[in-house]
Amino acid sequence: MPDLRGAMRTPWKAWNEVWRWLAYPRVRLLFAMNAIPWGSGWRIYGVPVIQKHRVSRMIFGPGFQLRSLLRSNPMAPNHPVVLSTYRQGASLEIGANFRMTGGNLCAAQKIIIGDHVVIGANTTIVDTDFHPADPVGRWVKPSDGRAAEVVIEDNVFIGMNCLVLKGVRIGRGSVIGAGSVVAKGVPSGVIAAGNPAVIIGELDSDRLLTK
């Protein structure tokens, strides 16, 4: 009865589950077509966009959760989650109990995300500039921008509408404020925000979760 009462009080959550199950066959087929093994405890709301280079890899841990449906989150994704390995040899590796609403994960080289990471609505994480900085390079090799590995450690929370750029490492347990542009590394156990993001506070190190 408690579950039924909860569903009556928040009917949109019940509808989210209905739409999740209706989309389930299509979502399973999408992951299978991209040779991505289906994991335990996955909950995919709406159909994500997967752009996987044939010579690349995507690895997602248990408890993987994506929200692409407009109604699946009060913060309303402005487009489906996009998962992309942009170049040959690229790698997108995500640990257990990952949560993301809308937004983009695009790896030209490598993006590594640890366990229990939560990413707010419409955030973009990229490890590449996509295009060269010089005009000649953009004309000759328009997709040959520089790339550098991105690492997001365990228990990080990234707020909505953030941009995390190439070469960034965000330390364990840190929080990135909404609307931030993260262009440099962030140590463990801090709050960072702004454009560019800077440290604005520290978290209680005794309360940071460990594996």
Active site (catalytic) residues: 131
Q: Please give the sequence-ordered ranges of beta strands (E in DSSP) within 43-156, or none if there are none.
A: 43-45, 49-52, 57-60, 65-67, 82-85, 91-94, 99-101, 104-107, 110-113, 118-119, 124-126, 150-152
91: helix, coil or strand? strand
The CA distance from 162 to 156, in Å, is 13
Q: How far apart are CA 77 and CA 28, in angstroms?
A: 21
Q: Give one word for 32, left, alpha or beta, with left for phi > 0 and alpha for psi -120 to 50.
A: alpha
Phi, psi for residue 101 in degrees, rounded to 5: -120, 120
